[in-house]
Structure 1
Amino acid sequence: MSTNTSGTFPLPQDLENDRIKLVPYIPSFHSEVFAELSKKYPETYKYIPWGHSEVQAAFDSETFLREHKWLLFAILDKTRPPSDHLVGSDGALAGTIAFIDCDPRNLSAELGAVLIFPPFQRTHVASNAVGLMLQYALNRPSEGGLGLRRVVWLANRLNEGSIRLAKRFRFQQEGVLRWHMYLEGGPAGNGKLLREEDPKPGCPGRDTALFSLCWDDWEGGGAKENSATVMLRIN
């Protein structure tokens, strides 16, 4: 089975603890189940600028992942059995998570594509996935990490769950990007109302809350200790 080599940071074979495992997202292996879950739970995409068909196309495109410098992982919940189409995997497909816009020159990346399907929301999945990714990003190389200086988190300003999760890991809010994106269809309650004659009717606007977690926050502000509860193992 080939691995995702689309990004510009070293990609571990997997990151895991006793409850979840993050493995490189492999379209030929994960996409069928991911597509089924996306169609079954369209509310997963409520606050993001893409619909599930666009996300599926992006995740299936090595060209997209490479050009946008993504390191994309599938999240496996080890506490639940794998789906029929994922026989041999270490758990049920719970969602995805990624390093986006990897920038090795400035030692930074965005933590994004955090898509958790409803049966796995409000469980251990999201916090463990984020904790594992942050440890890999911000721990020193001697600790098995990349030693990055900065990790960015962007959230729809109305997405209270995403903002709450960022704050739990001590991300610091730097500001709000007003009318930053448009949302592909969906009710206006997911974003901002439009004026008459807007060129994108039916696509609400999105204010984006901008957060960051930097190495000095990580080592000096308690974030590393919070994340340590997820017990990282890098293979």
Structure 2
Amino acid sequence: MYAIPLGEDGAELRPLEPWHAEEFLAHMERGREFIGQFIPFGATATDLASTRELLQKHADATATGTRAYHGIWLDGTLVGGVLALNFDAENGNGEVGCWLEPAAAGRGLVTRAMRHLIDWAVEERGIHRVEWIAASENTPSVNVARRLGFTKEGVLRESFPWRGKRHDMEIWSVLAPEWRGARSGHRER
């Protein structure tokens, strides 16, 4: 197992695996309402069995090379995560996403973790186009995409039905040459 330090504040990026089920469930219980505003995956992790099943599903997809699932730990407590999904290495396309419980918000944890994940996607997996898809109302997520240098490409109007409402979804992307060009600036921040 590995842990990537995310700065001087005790934050780390680590693989999130099925054996983390109890810790992940506790994390979901602390942040379920906040996380669930725009992200449905937490709604399925309601007890230990369903949480293990969710994490196993992600582990199986990771094993096929189409996904990567990482947790963000702050002072030894799981507080959020970043993931790569819908990876198509053959065509060089992939999507990234994130989540965070409210107590950890506003510290730059997702931005710092995402820099490592995108570096890995571009340099190790050969992904040319990295997409970020977020509800227009999910201001923190949209702000992370902007901070990371993604370009807003458009809005899928009312394309995501969630919790009795249809949400507009913004499509953002960064291309490998753009990412490499901005990388030195990212590491300095």
Task: Provide structure 2 residue ranges, at least 5 long, that are not aligned to the other structure.
Answer: 46-50
Distance 2:64 2:152 in 1: 28
Preserved CA contact (<8 Å) 2:81 2:110: no
Instruction: Look up the match of 1:53.
Output: 43
1:205 counterpart = 2:166: yes
Q: Supply the AA of the counterpart residue of 1:104.
A: A
Counterpart of 1:213, as a letter, is: V
3-state SS of paired residue (2:83): strand
* Cα root mean square deviation, aligned: 2.3
1:47-102 deviation digits (Å, cap 9, x = unpaired) = 22x1523254533434566679221111122xx2x2xxxxxxxxx21212111011
In 1, Cα distance between equivalents of 2:36 and 2:43: 10
* Higher share in strand: 2
| Percent of aligned positions that are identical | 21
The SS at the match of 2:154 is strand
TM, length-normalised to structure 1? 0.68
Deviation per CA, 1:128-181, whole angstroms, max 9, x where unpaired?
111111222224xxxxx4332111000001111111110111100111112222
Confirm whether residue 167 of structure 1 aligns to residue 146 of structure 2.
Answer: yes
**What secondary structure is seen at the aligned counterpart in 1 of 2:137?**
coil
Deviations 1:2-49, CA, capped at 9 Å, x for gaps: x7xxxxxxxxx5544444322221121x2212212212222122122x
SS at match of 1:170: coil
Q: 1:59 to 1:68 in 2, by over 3 A?
A: farther
| CA shift in 2, pair 1:64/1:150, >3 Å | closer
TM-score, length-normalised on structure 2? 0.82
Q: 1:179 aligns with which of 155, 158, 173?
A: 158
In structure 2, C-alpha distance between the alignment counterparts of 1:21 and 1:131, rounded to whole Å = 13
Query: Within 2, Cα distance between the matches of 1:63 and 1:135?
Result: 22
Q: Deviations over 1:179-203 (max 9, x none)?
A: 22211x2xxxxxxxxxxxxxxxxx2
Maintained 8 Å contact 2:159/2:168: yes
- Which position in structure 2 is the counterpart of 1:126? 110
Does 2:36 match 1:39? no
Instruction: Look at both structures and tell me which one has the larger radius of gyration over its CA atoms.
Output: 1
Query: What CA distance in whole angstroms lies between the structure 2 residues aligned with 1:51 and 1:108?
Result: 22
CA contact (8 A) 2:27 2:79 kept: no
DSSP-derived class of the 1:23 partner = strand
Name the count of aligned residue pairs: 179
1:188 paired residue number: none
> What residue is the counterpart of 1:227 in the other structure?
186
